[in-house]
Amino acid sequence: MPSPDKRYKKHKTIKTPGGKTVRRIVKKKTKKQTCAVCTSLIHGVPHGKRPFEVKKLSKTERRPENLLAPILCPKCRDVAYKDAVMLKNNLKTEADCDFRYIKYVKMILKKIE
Ligand SMILES: [Zn+2]
């Protein structure tokens, strides 16, 4: 039985230069970021790198400089912005908003107040 810290890690069988086959732990890489509502890909976020490589990047290279940018895609962000402004000006009630956006609408409302 492998030690507890190695039990759930992804392994890969490789051949060494000496001809032996050994099992090595696969090092994790960052995934592509997806939108929290529609699951489309978000651009401008690093992927395919090790976490320590992402940490070394500058602040603006790590994510787009926009409100909720690493969470929502531009289309969903537009809908959330409009809902937040309409809620603030009493043009819409919370029941009229799409339930998938309400969480993000509240986050925007906190920022613009
Ligand atoms: Zn989206």
Q: How far apart are the CA of 7 and the centre of ligand 1, in A?
A: 36
| Alpha-carbon gap, residue 93 to 111, rounded angstroms | 19
Q: How far apart are the CA of 42 and the centre of ligand 1, in A?
A: 8
The candidate with the shortest Cα–Cα distance to 68, out of 56, 80, 59, is 80
Q: How far apart are the CA of 55 and the centre of ligand 1, in A?
A: 25
Sign of torsion over alpha carbons 8, 9, 10, 15 = negative
Residues in the chain: 113
Non-local (6+) Cβ contacts of 61 within 8 A are 46
pLDDT at 78 over 90: yes
pLDDT at 53 over 90: yes
User: What is the predicted pLDDT for the residue at 84?
Assistant: 93
**pLDDT > 70: what percent of the chain?**
100
Q: Chain-wide mean pLDDT for the chain?
A: 90
**pLDDT > 90: what percent of the chain?**
66
Confidence of residue 67 (pLDDT cuts 50, 70, 90): confident
pTM given for the model: 0.71
User: What is the predicted pLDDT for the residue at 36?
Assistant: 93
| Alpha-carbon gap, residue 27 to 1, rounded angstroms | 20
| Alpha-carbon gap, residue 61 to 40, rounded angstroms | 20
pLDDT at 14 over 90: yes
Q: Which residues surround ligand 1, an ion (CB under 5 A)?
A: 35, 37-38, 73, 76
Q: What is the mean pLDDT of residues 20-39?
A: 92
